[in-house]
Structure 1
Amino acid sequence: MTRIQTALWLAGHGVPVLPLSGDKRPLANCPACKGNSCGERPNSLAAGPCSCPLPCHGWSAATTDRRTVAGWEWDQAGAVGWHPGGRGLTVVDLDSPEAVQWAQTALPATRTVPTTRGEHWIYEGATQSRNGVMPKVDVKSLMSYAVWRGAGTGAVVPLPAAVVALVERSKAAARVTPHRIPQARNGTCPHRSPSYLARGIAMAAGQISGTPEGMRNRTLFRVLLAVLRTHGQCGCMGPDDLDPVWQAARSTGLPQSEIDRRYSQALSTLGL
Protein backbone atom coordinates (compact mmCIF):
# COMPACT_ATOMS: atom_id res chain seq x y z
CA MET A 1 0.00 0.00 0.00
CA THR A 2 1.03 3.60 -0.52
CA ARG A 3 1.50 5.84 2.51
CA ILE A 4 -1.89 7.49 2.13
CA GLN A 5 -3.56 4.09 1.72
CA THR A 6 -1.80 2.85 4.87
CA ALA A 7 -2.83 5.98 6.78
CA LEU A 8 -6.46 5.67 5.70
CA TRP A 9 -6.51 1.97 6.61
CA LEU A 10 -5.13 2.75 10.07
CA ALA A 11 -7.56 5.62 10.61
CA GLY A 12 -10.42 3.31 9.61
CA HIS A 13 -9.30 0.93 12.37
CA GLY A 14 -9.26 3.66 15.02
CA VAL A 15 -5.53 4.40 14.96
CA PRO A 16 -4.68 8.15 14.97
CA VAL A 17 -2.13 8.90 12.23
CA LEU A 18 -0.01 11.76 10.89
CA PRO A 19 2.52 12.20 8.07
CA LEU A 20 6.22 12.25 8.95
CA SER A 21 9.18 13.59 7.01
CA GLY A 22 12.04 11.44 5.76
CA ASP A 23 13.94 11.88 9.04
CA LYS A 24 10.90 10.63 11.02
CA ARG A 25 9.98 14.07 12.32
CA PRO A 26 6.53 15.65 11.88
CA LEU A 27 6.12 17.75 8.76
CA ALA A 28 7.02 21.39 9.35
CA ASN A 29 4.42 23.76 10.74
CA CYS A 30 2.34 25.69 8.26
CA PRO A 31 2.96 29.48 8.17
CA ALA A 32 0.12 30.20 10.59
CA CYS A 33 1.56 27.80 13.20
CA LYS A 34 5.29 28.36 12.63
CA GLY A 35 7.19 28.51 15.88
CA ASN A 36 3.99 27.55 17.74
CA SER A 37 2.82 31.15 17.35
CA CYS A 38 -0.72 29.73 17.11
CA GLY A 39 -0.63 28.78 20.79
CA GLU A 40 -0.64 24.97 20.35
CA ARG A 41 -3.62 22.61 20.15
CA PRO A 42 -6.10 21.97 22.97
CA ASN A 43 -4.71 18.46 23.56
CA SER A 44 -1.04 19.52 23.57
CA LEU A 45 1.14 19.45 26.68
CA ALA A 46 0.91 23.25 26.72
CA ALA A 47 -2.76 23.45 25.73
CA GLY A 48 -3.80 26.21 23.36
CA PRO A 49 -6.59 27.25 21.00
CA CYS A 50 -5.12 26.12 17.63
CA SER A 51 -7.55 24.25 15.38
CA CYS A 52 -5.42 24.17 12.22
CA PRO A 53 -6.48 21.25 9.96
CA LEU A 54 -2.91 20.64 8.76
CA PRO A 55 -0.58 18.07 10.42
CA CYS A 56 1.20 20.57 12.66
CA HIS A 57 2.35 19.90 16.23
CA GLY A 58 3.31 16.24 15.87
CA TRP A 59 1.34 13.69 17.89
CA SER A 60 -1.39 16.17 18.83
CA ALA A 61 -2.28 16.49 15.12
CA ALA A 62 -2.78 12.72 14.74
CA THR A 63 -6.36 11.88 13.85
CA THR A 64 -8.70 9.08 12.79
CA ASP A 65 -10.81 11.42 10.66
CA ARG A 66 -10.40 9.94 7.18
CA ARG A 67 -11.41 13.14 5.41
CA THR A 68 -8.69 15.07 7.24
CA VAL A 69 -6.14 12.32 6.59
CA ALA A 70 -6.99 12.22 2.88
CA GLY A 71 -6.52 15.98 2.62
CA TRP A 72 -2.92 15.98 3.85
CA GLU A 73 -0.05 16.16 1.35
CA TRP A 74 1.26 12.62 1.59
CA ASP A 75 3.53 13.11 -1.42
CA GLN A 76 5.74 15.19 0.89
CA ALA A 77 5.82 12.53 3.60
CA GLY A 78 8.60 10.03 4.13
CA ALA A 79 6.71 7.81 6.58
CA VAL A 80 3.40 7.28 8.37
CA GLY A 81 3.35 8.14 12.05
CA TRP A 82 0.81 6.92 14.59
CA HIS A 83 -0.17 7.91 18.13
CA PRO A 84 -0.13 4.75 20.28
CA GLY A 85 -1.69 6.37 23.35
CA GLY A 86 -4.61 7.58 21.25
CA ARG A 87 -5.45 3.95 20.53
CA GLY A 88 -4.89 2.85 24.13
CA LEU A 89 -1.56 1.19 23.30
CA THR A 90 2.09 1.48 24.33
CA VAL A 91 5.11 0.89 22.11
CA VAL A 92 8.37 -0.14 23.73
CA ASP A 93 10.90 0.99 21.13
CA LEU A 94 13.97 -1.26 21.29
CA ASP A 95 16.60 0.43 19.17
CA SER A 96 19.46 -2.09 19.24
CA PRO A 97 20.00 -5.88 19.35
CA GLU A 98 21.11 -5.52 22.98
CA ALA A 99 17.85 -3.78 23.85
CA VAL A 100 15.87 -6.57 22.20
CA GLN A 101 17.82 -9.16 24.21
CA TRP A 102 17.05 -7.25 27.40
CA ALA A 103 13.32 -7.17 26.61
CA GLN A 104 13.27 -10.89 25.88
CA THR A 105 14.35 -11.58 29.45
CA ALA A 106 12.65 -8.69 31.27
CA LEU A 107 9.26 -8.25 29.57
CA PRO A 108 6.37 -10.56 28.63
CA ALA A 109 6.18 -11.58 25.00
CA THR A 110 3.70 -9.54 22.96
CA ARG A 111 3.18 -8.37 19.39
CA THR A 112 6.52 -7.42 17.83
CA VAL A 113 7.32 -5.34 14.77
CA PRO A 114 10.80 -5.35 13.18
CA THR A 115 12.44 -1.92 12.78
CA THR A 116 15.64 -0.80 11.07
CA ARG A 117 17.74 -1.28 14.22
CA GLY A 118 15.62 -3.40 16.54
CA GLU A 119 11.95 -4.02 17.30
CA HIS A 120 8.75 -2.38 18.51
CA TRP A 121 6.96 -4.31 21.26
CA ILE A 122 3.28 -3.32 21.42
CA TYR A 123 1.22 -3.65 24.61
CA GLU A 124 -2.45 -3.07 25.41
CA GLY A 125 -2.84 -0.10 27.74
CA ALA A 126 -1.52 3.46 27.75
CA THR A 127 1.05 5.14 29.97
CA GLN A 128 3.18 8.25 30.03
CA SER A 129 5.84 8.35 27.34
CA ARG A 130 9.53 8.58 28.14
CA ASN A 131 12.72 8.40 26.08
CA GLY A 132 15.84 6.72 27.38
CA VAL A 133 14.27 4.61 30.15
CA MET A 134 17.06 2.14 29.41
CA PRO A 135 19.96 2.36 26.95
CA LYS A 136 18.35 2.43 23.47
CA VAL A 137 14.88 1.90 24.96
CA ASP A 138 12.05 4.45 24.61
CA VAL A 139 8.43 4.16 25.75
CA LYS A 140 5.97 5.74 23.31
CA SER A 141 2.33 6.03 24.32
CA LEU A 142 0.49 9.16 25.52
CA MET A 143 1.63 12.46 23.98
CA SER A 144 4.02 10.69 21.62
CA TYR A 145 4.16 9.16 18.15
CA ALA A 146 5.91 6.22 16.56
CA VAL A 147 6.73 5.33 12.97
CA TRP A 148 4.31 2.75 11.55
CA ARG A 149 6.42 -0.27 10.62
CA GLY A 150 3.60 -2.71 9.97
CA ALA A 151 1.10 -4.73 11.96
CA GLY A 152 3.71 -7.14 13.33
CA THR A 153 3.18 -10.65 14.62
CA GLY A 154 1.97 -12.17 17.86
CA ALA A 155 -0.87 -11.44 20.26
CA VAL A 156 -1.00 -8.09 22.05
CA VAL A 157 -0.86 -8.59 25.84
CA PRO A 158 -1.59 -6.14 28.67
CA LEU A 159 1.01 -3.51 29.48
CA PRO A 160 3.27 -4.95 32.20
CA ALA A 161 3.95 -3.10 35.44
CA ALA A 162 7.66 -3.32 34.62
CA VAL A 163 7.28 -0.82 31.76
CA VAL A 164 5.33 1.65 33.90
CA ALA A 165 7.99 1.29 36.60
CA LEU A 166 10.73 2.10 34.08
CA VAL A 167 8.92 5.31 33.13
CA GLU A 168 8.43 6.34 36.77
CA ARG A 169 12.04 5.54 37.67
CA SER A 170 13.29 7.60 34.74
CA LYS A 171 11.10 10.55 35.78
CA ALA A 172 12.36 10.32 39.36
CA ALA A 173 15.98 10.30 38.17
CA ALA A 174 15.34 13.46 36.18
CA ARG A 175 13.79 15.20 39.19
CA VAL A 176 16.89 14.76 41.36
CA THR A 177 19.13 16.57 38.87
CA PRO A 178 21.03 18.99 41.17
CA HIS A 179 20.78 22.02 38.93
CA ARG A 180 20.33 25.35 40.66
CA ILE A 181 17.31 27.37 39.50
CA PRO A 182 17.99 31.12 39.42
CA GLN A 183 16.15 33.18 42.02
CA ALA A 184 13.66 35.84 41.01
CA ARG A 185 15.17 39.31 40.92
CA ASN A 186 12.06 41.46 40.78
CA GLY A 187 9.35 39.35 42.40
CA THR A 188 6.93 39.63 39.47
CA CYS A 189 6.42 37.48 36.38
CA PRO A 190 5.43 39.28 33.17
CA HIS A 191 4.40 36.14 31.31
CA ARG A 192 0.87 35.41 30.27
CA SER A 193 0.27 32.09 32.04
CA PRO A 194 2.04 28.91 33.22
CA SER A 195 1.35 27.43 29.77
CA TYR A 196 3.75 30.01 28.29
CA LEU A 197 6.62 28.46 30.28
CA ALA A 198 5.50 24.89 29.50
CA ARG A 199 5.31 25.70 25.79
CA GLY A 200 8.81 27.18 25.83
CA ILE A 201 10.25 24.18 27.67
CA ALA A 202 8.55 21.73 25.27
CA MET A 203 9.95 23.60 22.27
CA ALA A 204 13.42 23.60 23.83
CA ALA A 205 13.32 19.85 24.47
CA GLY A 206 12.12 19.25 20.91
CA GLN A 207 15.03 21.22 19.47
CA ILE A 208 17.53 19.14 21.44
CA SER A 209 15.93 15.82 20.47
CA GLY A 210 15.98 16.76 16.78
CA THR A 211 19.61 17.93 16.65
CA PRO A 212 22.05 15.86 14.55
CA GLU A 213 25.01 14.24 16.26
CA GLY A 214 27.98 16.58 16.52
CA MET A 215 25.84 19.67 17.17
CA ARG A 216 24.09 18.61 20.38
CA ASN A 217 26.46 20.35 22.80
CA ARG A 218 26.03 23.70 21.09
CA THR A 219 22.28 23.22 20.72
CA LEU A 220 21.89 22.45 24.43
CA PHE A 221 23.84 25.59 25.33
CA ARG A 222 21.85 27.75 22.90
CA VAL A 223 18.53 26.35 24.16
CA LEU A 224 19.47 26.89 27.81
CA LEU A 225 20.48 30.47 27.04
CA ALA A 226 17.09 31.13 25.44
CA VAL A 227 15.08 29.56 28.29
CA LEU A 228 17.08 31.20 31.07
CA ARG A 229 17.11 34.57 29.35
CA THR A 230 13.30 34.48 29.19
CA HIS A 231 12.41 32.73 32.46
CA GLY A 232 15.53 32.79 34.63
CA GLN A 233 14.90 36.02 36.50
CA CYS A 234 11.14 36.31 36.98
CA GLY A 235 10.48 33.41 39.36
CA CYS A 236 8.05 31.45 37.18
CA MET A 237 10.43 28.49 36.73
CA GLY A 238 10.39 25.78 39.40
CA PRO A 239 12.88 22.98 40.19
CA ASP A 240 11.08 20.41 37.99
CA ASP A 241 10.29 22.61 34.98
CA LEU A 242 13.54 21.87 33.16
CA ASP A 243 13.10 18.08 33.46
CA PRO A 244 12.07 17.69 29.77
CA VAL A 245 15.29 19.49 28.72
CA TRP A 246 17.50 17.23 30.85
CA GLN A 247 15.66 14.14 29.61
CA ALA A 248 15.99 15.19 25.97
CA ALA A 249 19.70 15.86 26.41
CA ARG A 250 20.32 12.49 28.05
CA SER A 251 18.28 10.66 25.43
CA THR A 252 20.59 11.98 22.69
CA GLY A 253 23.60 10.47 24.44
CA LEU A 254 25.04 13.59 26.08
CA PRO A 255 26.83 12.63 29.33
CA GLN A 256 25.68 14.20 32.58
CA SER A 257 29.01 15.98 33.01
CA GLU A 258 28.53 17.80 29.69
CA ILE A 259 24.93 18.71 30.56
CA ASP A 260 26.09 20.15 33.89
CA ARG A 261 28.89 22.07 32.20
CA ARG A 262 26.62 23.63 29.59
CA TYR A 263 24.07 24.65 32.23
CA SER A 264 26.75 26.30 34.36
CA GLN A 265 28.11 28.01 31.25
CA ALA A 266 24.66 29.38 30.39
CA LEU A 267 24.13 30.69 33.94
CA SER A 268 27.55 32.35 33.89
CA THR A 269 27.00 33.90 30.46
CA LEU A 270 23.75 35.51 31.65
CA GLY A 271 25.15 36.50 35.04
CA LEU A 272 22.59 34.44 36.95
Structure 2
Amino acid sequence: MTQPIPIRRDGHRPRLLDALDLARAGVPVLPLRAGKLPFGNCPSCASSACGDRPNMKAAGPCQCARPCHGWAAATTDPAVLQSPSWAEAWRQAHTVAYHPGGAGLTVVDLDDADAIAWARQSLPATRTVPTTRGEHWIYLGAMQSANAVRPGVDLKSLMAYARWLGPGTGTMTDLPEAVRALAVKKPPAARPAPLAVTAPAPTGGGECRHRMPAYLERGIAMAEQRITEARSGVHATVYRTFLAVLSAHGRCGCLSDAHVERLFTAAQAKGESPRHCTDAWTNARTALGM
Protein backbone atom coordinates (compact mmCIF):
# COMPACT_ATOMS: atom_id res chain seq x y z
CA MET A 1 0.00 0.00 0.00
CA THR A 2 1.34 3.41 -0.90
CA GLN A 3 1.61 6.35 1.47
CA PRO A 4 -0.86 9.24 1.08
CA ILE A 5 0.61 12.24 -0.69
CA PRO A 6 1.88 14.76 1.89
CA ILE A 7 0.07 18.09 1.90
CA ARG A 8 2.22 21.18 2.33
CA ARG A 9 1.05 23.61 4.96
CA ASP A 10 1.95 26.65 2.85
CA GLY A 11 -0.80 25.77 0.41
CA HIS A 12 1.52 25.06 -2.54
CA ARG A 13 1.34 21.90 -4.57
CA PRO A 14 3.21 19.00 -2.93
CA ARG A 15 6.52 18.22 -4.61
CA LEU A 16 5.56 14.58 -4.89
CA LEU A 17 2.73 15.56 -7.25
CA ASP A 18 5.25 17.27 -9.54
CA ALA A 19 7.42 14.16 -9.35
CA LEU A 20 4.53 11.88 -10.26
CA ASP A 21 3.57 14.07 -13.22
CA LEU A 22 7.15 13.93 -14.53
CA ALA A 23 7.36 10.18 -13.97
CA ARG A 24 4.18 9.64 -16.00
CA ALA A 25 5.85 11.60 -18.82
CA GLY A 26 8.83 9.23 -18.71
CA VAL A 27 11.21 11.55 -16.83
CA PRO A 28 13.13 9.84 -13.97
CA VAL A 29 12.86 11.96 -10.80
CA LEU A 30 14.25 12.16 -7.25
CA PRO A 31 13.87 14.49 -4.25
CA LEU A 32 16.54 17.04 -3.31
CA ARG A 33 17.19 18.34 0.18
CA ALA A 34 18.34 21.84 1.14
CA GLY A 35 21.27 23.16 -0.87
CA LYS A 36 20.16 21.34 -4.06
CA LEU A 37 21.76 18.15 -2.70
CA PRO A 38 20.51 14.57 -3.07
CA PHE A 39 19.74 12.56 0.05
CA GLY A 40 22.73 10.69 1.44
CA ASN A 41 23.06 6.95 1.15
CA CYS A 42 21.43 4.86 3.86
CA PRO A 43 23.70 2.92 6.30
CA SER A 44 23.48 -0.22 4.17
CA CYS A 45 24.77 1.67 1.11
CA ALA A 46 27.27 4.03 2.80
CA SER A 47 30.77 3.97 1.30
CA SER A 48 29.40 1.77 -1.55
CA ALA A 49 28.93 -1.18 0.81
CA CYS A 50 26.09 -2.31 -1.48
CA GLY A 51 28.53 -2.74 -4.37
CA ASP A 52 27.03 0.04 -6.48
CA ARG A 53 30.26 1.20 -8.17
CA PRO A 54 30.34 -1.34 -11.07
CA ASN A 55 26.77 -0.41 -12.04
CA MET A 56 26.74 3.38 -11.73
CA LYS A 57 26.12 3.85 -15.46
CA ALA A 58 22.47 2.99 -14.97
CA ALA A 59 19.82 4.20 -12.57
CA GLY A 60 19.04 1.92 -9.66
CA PRO A 61 22.53 0.60 -8.81
CA CYS A 62 21.30 -1.66 -5.97
CA GLN A 63 18.09 -3.02 -4.48
CA CYS A 64 17.91 -0.39 -1.73
CA ALA A 65 14.33 0.83 -1.27
CA ARG A 66 15.40 4.34 -0.21
CA PRO A 67 16.37 7.29 -2.47
CA CYS A 68 20.10 6.48 -2.34
CA HIS A 69 22.95 7.13 -4.79
CA GLY A 70 22.12 10.63 -5.96
CA TRP A 71 21.24 10.77 -9.66
CA ALA A 72 21.01 6.96 -9.83
CA ALA A 73 18.02 7.00 -7.47
CA ALA A 74 15.92 8.73 -10.13
CA THR A 75 12.94 6.61 -11.13
CA THR A 76 9.69 6.73 -13.11
CA ASP A 77 8.03 4.05 -10.95
CA PRO A 78 5.11 5.66 -9.07
CA ALA A 79 5.05 2.81 -6.54
CA VAL A 80 8.65 3.59 -5.59
CA LEU A 81 8.06 7.34 -5.45
CA GLN A 82 5.07 6.84 -3.10
CA SER A 83 6.59 4.04 -1.04
CA PRO A 84 6.94 4.32 2.76
CA SER A 85 10.74 4.28 2.47
CA TRP A 86 10.65 7.47 0.35
CA ALA A 87 8.02 9.27 2.47
CA GLU A 88 10.46 10.93 4.88
CA ALA A 89 12.62 12.16 1.99
CA TRP A 90 9.58 13.83 0.40
CA ARG A 91 8.66 15.46 3.72
CA GLN A 92 12.16 16.97 3.91
CA ALA A 93 12.53 17.72 0.18
CA HIS A 94 13.13 21.29 -0.91
CA THR A 95 12.74 20.60 -4.62
CA VAL A 96 12.41 17.91 -7.27
CA ALA A 97 15.26 16.89 -9.54
CA TYR A 98 15.37 14.73 -12.65
CA HIS A 99 17.93 12.66 -14.54
CA PRO A 100 18.16 14.33 -17.98
CA GLY A 101 20.14 11.52 -19.58
CA GLY A 102 17.55 8.98 -18.43
CA ALA A 103 14.90 10.98 -20.28
CA GLY A 104 17.06 11.35 -23.41
CA LEU A 105 17.79 15.02 -22.70
CA THR A 106 20.78 17.31 -22.16
CA VAL A 107 20.63 20.46 -20.04
CA VAL A 108 23.04 23.28 -20.83
CA ASP A 109 23.23 25.03 -17.45
CA LEU A 110 24.05 28.72 -18.02
CA ASP A 111 25.00 30.25 -14.70
CA ASP A 112 25.15 33.98 -15.45
CA ALA A 113 24.42 36.70 -17.97
CA ASP A 114 27.74 36.27 -19.79
CA ALA A 115 27.08 32.56 -20.30
CA ILE A 116 23.58 33.30 -21.60
CA ALA A 117 24.96 35.87 -24.04
CA TRP A 118 27.48 33.30 -25.30
CA ALA A 119 24.75 30.68 -25.80
CA ARG A 120 22.58 33.06 -27.78
CA GLN A 121 25.45 33.68 -30.17
CA SER A 122 26.78 30.11 -30.34
CA LEU A 123 23.93 27.59 -29.89
CA PRO A 124 20.63 26.95 -31.67
CA ALA A 125 17.50 28.09 -29.86
CA THR A 126 15.66 25.45 -27.83
CA ARG A 127 13.42 25.17 -24.78
CA THR A 128 14.56 27.59 -22.07
CA VAL A 129 13.90 27.45 -18.33
CA PRO A 130 14.80 30.39 -16.05
CA THR A 131 16.96 29.56 -13.02
CA THR A 132 17.95 31.54 -9.94
CA ARG A 133 20.93 33.14 -11.67
CA GLY A 134 20.68 32.12 -15.31
CA GLU A 135 18.91 29.66 -17.62
CA HIS A 136 18.67 25.97 -18.50
CA TRP A 137 18.69 25.26 -22.24
CA ILE A 138 17.22 21.79 -22.85
CA TYR A 139 18.02 19.74 -25.97
CA LEU A 140 16.73 16.40 -27.28
CA GLY A 141 19.54 13.85 -27.00
CA ALA A 142 21.75 12.45 -24.25
CA MET A 143 25.51 12.76 -23.86
CA GLN A 144 28.22 12.59 -21.22
CA SER A 145 27.90 15.24 -18.53
CA ALA A 146 30.69 17.73 -17.88
CA ASN A 147 31.22 20.65 -15.52
CA ALA A 148 32.85 23.99 -16.29
CA VAL A 149 33.18 23.35 -20.03
CA ARG A 150 33.56 27.12 -20.34
CA PRO A 151 33.02 29.98 -17.87
CA GLY A 152 29.56 29.65 -16.29
CA VAL A 153 28.53 26.62 -18.38
CA ASP A 154 27.86 23.03 -17.19
CA LEU A 155 26.41 20.12 -19.16
CA LYS A 156 23.94 17.85 -17.34
CA SER A 157 22.80 14.66 -19.01
CA LEU A 158 23.99 11.10 -18.29
CA MET A 159 24.98 10.36 -14.68
CA ALA A 160 23.84 13.79 -13.44
CA TYR A 161 20.71 15.48 -12.16
CA ALA A 162 19.10 18.86 -12.75
CA ARG A 163 16.46 20.71 -10.74
CA TRP A 164 12.92 20.71 -12.07
CA LEU A 165 12.08 24.41 -12.42
CA GLY A 166 9.02 24.15 -14.61
CA PRO A 167 8.32 23.27 -18.25
CA GLY A 168 9.98 26.38 -19.68
CA THR A 169 9.21 28.00 -23.00
CA GLY A 170 10.12 27.30 -26.61
CA THR A 171 10.43 24.13 -28.68
CA MET A 172 13.11 21.60 -27.88
CA THR A 173 15.57 21.03 -30.72
CA ASP A 174 18.01 18.19 -31.33
CA LEU A 175 21.26 18.21 -29.42
CA PRO A 176 23.75 20.09 -31.64
CA GLU A 177 27.33 19.07 -32.25
CA ALA A 178 28.40 22.40 -30.78
CA VAL A 179 27.21 21.18 -27.35
CA ARG A 180 28.75 17.71 -27.71
CA ALA A 181 32.05 19.31 -28.65
CA LEU A 182 32.13 21.22 -25.35
CA ALA A 183 32.62 17.95 -23.45
CA VAL A 184 35.59 16.82 -25.55
CA LYS A 185 38.79 17.32 -23.60
CA LYS A 186 41.40 19.20 -25.55
CA PRO A 187 45.02 17.97 -25.37
CA PRO A 188 47.36 20.27 -23.48
CA ALA A 189 49.29 22.73 -25.59
CA ALA A 190 52.73 21.47 -26.54
CA ARG A 191 55.52 23.13 -24.62
CA PRO A 192 58.05 24.76 -26.92
CA ALA A 193 61.34 22.91 -27.14
CA PRO A 194 64.10 24.49 -25.07
CA LEU A 195 66.80 26.30 -26.95
CA ALA A 196 70.33 24.96 -27.13
CA VAL A 197 72.64 25.40 -24.15
CA THR A 198 75.00 28.33 -24.55
CA ALA A 199 76.96 28.06 -21.27
CA PRO A 200 79.85 25.58 -21.38
CA ALA A 201 80.35 23.06 -18.60
CA PRO A 202 83.41 23.68 -16.41
CA THR A 203 86.55 21.84 -17.45
CA GLY A 204 88.23 21.28 -14.12
CA GLY A 205 91.23 19.00 -13.97
CA GLY A 206 91.02 17.90 -10.37
CA GLU A 207 90.56 14.31 -9.29
CA CYS A 208 86.91 13.29 -8.90
CA ARG A 209 86.03 12.95 -5.24
CA HIS A 210 82.82 11.06 -5.89
CA ARG A 211 84.18 7.82 -7.34
CA MET A 212 80.71 6.63 -8.36
CA PRO A 213 78.85 8.01 -11.43
CA ALA A 214 75.57 7.35 -9.58
CA TYR A 215 76.40 10.15 -7.15
CA LEU A 216 76.55 12.72 -9.95
CA GLU A 217 73.39 11.34 -11.56
CA ARG A 218 71.54 11.59 -8.26
CA GLY A 219 72.73 15.16 -7.78
CA ILE A 220 71.54 16.24 -11.23
CA ALA A 221 68.18 14.52 -10.74
CA MET A 222 67.68 16.25 -7.39
CA ALA A 223 68.56 19.61 -8.96
CA GLU A 224 66.02 19.08 -11.75
CA GLN A 225 63.37 18.19 -9.18
CA ARG A 226 64.16 21.26 -7.05
CA ILE A 227 63.69 23.55 -10.06
CA THR A 228 60.55 21.76 -11.28
CA GLU A 229 58.85 21.95 -7.87
CA ALA A 230 59.53 25.68 -7.35
CA ARG A 231 56.24 27.48 -6.69
CA SER A 232 57.65 30.99 -6.36
CA GLY A 233 60.98 32.80 -6.68
CA VAL A 234 61.94 30.73 -9.72
CA HIS A 235 64.88 33.01 -10.63
CA ALA A 236 66.39 32.63 -7.18
CA THR A 237 65.73 28.89 -7.09
CA VAL A 238 67.46 28.37 -10.43
CA TYR A 239 70.51 30.39 -9.34
CA ARG A 240 70.82 28.59 -5.99
CA THR A 241 70.44 25.21 -7.68
CA PHE A 242 73.10 26.00 -10.29
CA LEU A 243 75.37 27.21 -7.48
CA ALA A 244 74.89 23.97 -5.52
CA VAL A 245 75.57 21.77 -8.55
CA LEU A 246 78.72 23.66 -9.47
CA SER A 247 79.93 23.64 -5.88
CA ALA A 248 79.57 19.87 -5.65
CA HIS A 249 80.49 18.77 -9.17
CA GLY A 250 82.05 21.68 -11.04
CA ARG A 251 85.75 21.35 -10.27
CA CYS A 252 86.56 17.76 -11.16
CA GLY A 253 85.59 17.77 -14.84
CA CYS A 254 82.88 15.10 -14.63
CA LEU A 255 80.04 17.58 -15.24
CA SER A 256 79.27 17.35 -18.96
CA ASP A 257 77.35 19.47 -21.46
CA ALA A 258 74.54 16.88 -21.26
CA HIS A 259 74.20 17.50 -17.52
CA VAL A 260 74.07 21.27 -18.00
CA GLU A 261 71.48 20.89 -20.77
CA ARG A 262 69.24 18.94 -18.38
CA LEU A 263 69.42 21.76 -15.84
CA PHE A 264 68.72 24.42 -18.48
CA THR A 265 65.78 22.39 -19.82
CA ALA A 266 64.22 22.18 -16.35
CA ALA A 267 64.68 25.93 -15.85
CA GLN A 268 63.17 26.82 -19.23
CA ALA A 269 60.19 24.56 -18.48
CA LYS A 270 59.48 26.84 -15.49
CA GLY A 271 59.50 29.91 -17.72
CA GLU A 272 63.16 30.97 -17.56
CA SER A 273 64.56 32.32 -20.83
CA PRO A 274 67.83 30.97 -22.29
CA ARG A 275 69.48 34.30 -21.41
CA HIS A 276 68.39 34.04 -17.77
CA CYS A 277 69.72 30.48 -17.62
CA THR A 278 73.07 31.55 -19.05
CA ASP A 279 73.30 34.53 -16.68
CA ALA A 280 72.48 32.40 -13.64
CA TRP A 281 75.07 29.79 -14.64
CA THR A 282 77.75 32.43 -15.27
CA ASN A 283 77.01 34.22 -11.99
CA ALA A 284 77.20 30.95 -10.08
CA ARG A 285 80.60 30.15 -11.62
CA THR A 286 81.85 33.66 -10.82
CA ALA A 287 80.68 33.35 -7.21
CA LEU A 288 82.69 30.11 -6.89
CA GLY A 289 85.78 31.57 -8.60
CA MET A 290 85.57 29.32 -11.65
Counterpart contact for 2:40–2:70, Cα < 8 Å: no
Structure 1 residue 46, shift from structure 2 partner: 9.8
Query: 5 Å matches for 1:62-211?
Result: 62-71=74-83, 72-73=86-87, 74-168=90-184, 171-173=185-187
Task: Determine the structure 2 residue equivalent to 1:220.
Answer: none
Gaps of 5+ in 1: 179-272
Query: 5 Å matches for 1:217-232?
Result: none
In 1, the alpha carbon distance for the partners of 2:53 and 2:18 equals 25
Distance 1:155 1:43, change over 3 A: farther
Task: Determine the structure 1 residue equivalent to 2:48.
Answer: 36
Give 1:11's aligned amino acid. A
In 2, the alpha carbon distance for the partners of 1:50 and 1:90 equals 25
Gaps of 5+ in 2: 1-12, 192-290
How many residues are aligned here? 175
Identity of matched residues, %: 59
Residue 23 of structure 1 pairs with residue 35 of structure 2? yes
Give the alignment partner of residue 9 of structure 1, picking from 13, 21, 25. 21
CA-to-aligned-CA distance 1:226-254 (integer Å, 9 cap, x gap): xxxxxxxxxxxxxxxxxxxxxxxxxxxxx
Counterpart contact for 1:92–1:122, Cα < 8 Å: yes
Give 2:186's aligned amino acid. A
Per the normalisation by structure 2, the TM-score is 0.57
Counterpart contact for 2:60–2:72, Cα < 8 Å: no
Partner SS for 2:37: coil
Counterpart contact for 2:111–2:152, Cα < 8 Å: yes
Distance 1:42 1:50, change over 3 A: farther
In 2, the alpha carbon distance for the partners of 1:117 and 1:16 equals 25
In 2, the alpha carbon distance for the partners of 1:34 and 1:25 equals 16
Q: State the 4+ residue runs in structure 1 displaced beyond 3 angstroms.
A: 45-49
Per the normalisation by structure 1, the TM-score is 0.60
Residue 55 of structure 1 pairs with residue 71 of structure 2? no
Give 2:71's aligned amino acid. W
Instruction: Provide the alpha-carbon RMSD of the alignment.
Output: 2.3
CA-to-aligned-CA distance 1:123-180 (integer Å, 9 cap, x gap): 0011110000011100000111101111100000000100000111xx335x88x9xx
